[in-house]
Chain A
Amino acid sequence: DAKTTQPPSMDCAEGRAANLPCNHSTISGNEYVYWYRQIHSQGPQYIIHGLKNNETNEMASLIITEDRKSSTLILPHATLRDTAVYYCVLTSYGKLTFGQGTILTVHP
């Protein structure tokens, strides 16, 4: 069973920041938070991951709360091509357990 909870859907205007929340209240100390996204008819694409600290790369930023019970993925300037299903996944020892994810729709 998935150990994360995400809203089923979110909308965002093009050019604005998209903030996708994820709850993982039962996270263990050695579990990483990973984010993937899946565009229709493609395999999941890796976005970013973190353990405790906030992380940033060329695609997104990841904010993890101090108690590690929740996190937020931030797409700073959403484009139409960011429309996808976004999965927040916990992993330890390589095992990914996906939930239902959040369908993000970016509007013009």
Chain B
Amino acid sequence: EAGVAQSPRYKIIEKRQSVAFWCNPISGHATLYWYQQILGQGPKLLIQFQNNGVVDDSQLPKDRFSAERLKGVDSTLKIQPAKLEDSAVYLCASSLSAGTDTQYFGPGTRLTVL
């Protein structure tokens, strides 16, 4: 069974530029999550989707971050404009459904903002 796919794996941009990350969850998984992991810390949830609807985006900095999952499968996370403090690994995870179903993570995208 294929795992969660993410691209790109690495991205370097200058501050005030925009960037987008893509995630393809495990086939059949209705719930999709985006996490931000700053160096030396555990992952922090940014947004949770159930199919194509947002369940929780309370930790998403909505002035610069946006995410969508239009057809309930793939998802994109965008940052516009980027700040230095956005340098982090952005992880995508998916699960069969919300609740107690196990989340499976992708390899992440490492973003460096100069």
Instruction: Tell whether, in the assembled complex, residue B100 and residue A91 are in contact, meaning their CB atoms are under 8 Å apart.
Output: yes
Indicate the size class of the contact surface on chain B: 20 to 34
Chain B, 56-114, CB within 8 A of any chain A CB: 56, 91, 93, 95, 97-108, 110
Contacts between the two chains (Cβ within 8 Å), count? 59
Q: How far is the CA of A79 from the CA of B1 in the complex (A)?
A: 26
Given contacts A45-B105, A96-B45, A96-B103, 17 further A-B contacts (CB under 8 A): A2-B42, A41-B110, A42-B108, A43-B91, A43-B106, A43-B108, A44-B91, A44-B93, A46-B102, A91-B100, A93-B98, A94-B31, A94-B97, A94-B99, A95-B56, A98-B44, A100-B42
* CB proximity to B under 8 Å, residues A89-104: 91-101
Neighbouring B residues of A94 by C-beta, 8 Å: 31, 33, 48, 55, 95, 97-101, 103
Residues of B within 8 A of A (CB): 4, 31, 33, 40-45, 48, 55-56, 91, 93, 95, 97-108, 110
CA gap between A95 and B107 in the complex, in Å = 19
A46–B110 CA distance with the chains assembled, in angstroms: 20
Size of interface on A: residues with Cβ below 8 Å to B: 23
Q: How far does the alpha carbon of A98 sit from the alpha carbon of B103 in the complex, in Å?
A: 13
Selected A-B contacts with CB under 8 Å, 28 pairs:
A32-B100, A41-B110, A42-B107, A43-B91, A43-B93, A43-B107, A43-B108, A44-B43, A44-B91, A44-B105, A46-B102, A46-B103, A49-B102, A93-B98, A93-B99, A94-B33, A94-B95, A94-B98, A94-B103, A95-B56, A96-B43, A97-B45, A98-B41, A98-B42, A98-B43, A99-B42, A100-B41, A101-B42
